[in-house]
């Protein structure tokens, strides 16, 4: 995942969500948002930020192990990468990161703006 770090930017993250959140599904989007909010937290250590950037960059890339455009399977590898990152970072993911992700997720899937 870390080899994809150059692909990540906050703008590219929000663009991916804007165009593909419904296709990716709630579970993928919630995990991506949780990592995003963890990354923004000043308490998150540098090594953990690198893991997050790697996972989010993998999510952003349209051509990865399973291309995102394959119906039904395209985001399964992204889900795995995001879940793995969350497992690695379990002690650094705070309840507030999860809460922020869920609030943003609900705004997004209820037709509002996902952008905080």
DSSP 13-41: HHHHHHHHHHHH-HHHHHHHHHHHHHHH-
Q: How many CB atoms lie within 10 A of CB 37?
A: 22
Of the candidates 73, 57, 56, 77, which has an alpha carbon nearest to the alpha carbon of residue 65?
A: 77
Give me the pLDDT at residue 116, please. Answer: 45
pTM of the model: 0.83
pLDDT recorded at residue 59: 87
Taking the chain (116 residues) in runs of 10, the rounded mean pLDDT of each run is 64 87 88 97 96 91 57 72 96 98 88 55
Q: What is the pLDDT of residue 67?
A: 53
pLDDT of the residue at 1: 47
What is the phi/psi pair of residue 23, to 5°? Answer: -65, -40
Q: Which two tokens stand for residue 105?
A: 């997720």
């Amino acid at each position: 995942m870390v080899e994809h770090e150059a692909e990540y930017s906050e703008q590219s993250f929000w663009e991916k969500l804007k165009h593909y959140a419904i296709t990716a599904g709630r579970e993928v989007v919630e995990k991506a948002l949780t990592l995003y909010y963890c990354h923004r937290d000043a308490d998150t250590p540098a090594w953990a930020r690198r893991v997050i950037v790697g996972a989010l960059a993998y999510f952003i890339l349209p051509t990865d192990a399973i291309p995102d455009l394959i119906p039904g399977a395209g985001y399964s590898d992204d889900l795995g990468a995001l879940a793995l990152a969350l497992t690695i970072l379990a002690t650094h993911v705070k309840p507030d990161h999860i809460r922020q992700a869920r609030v943003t997720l609900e705004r997004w899937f209820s037709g509002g703006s996902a952008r905080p």
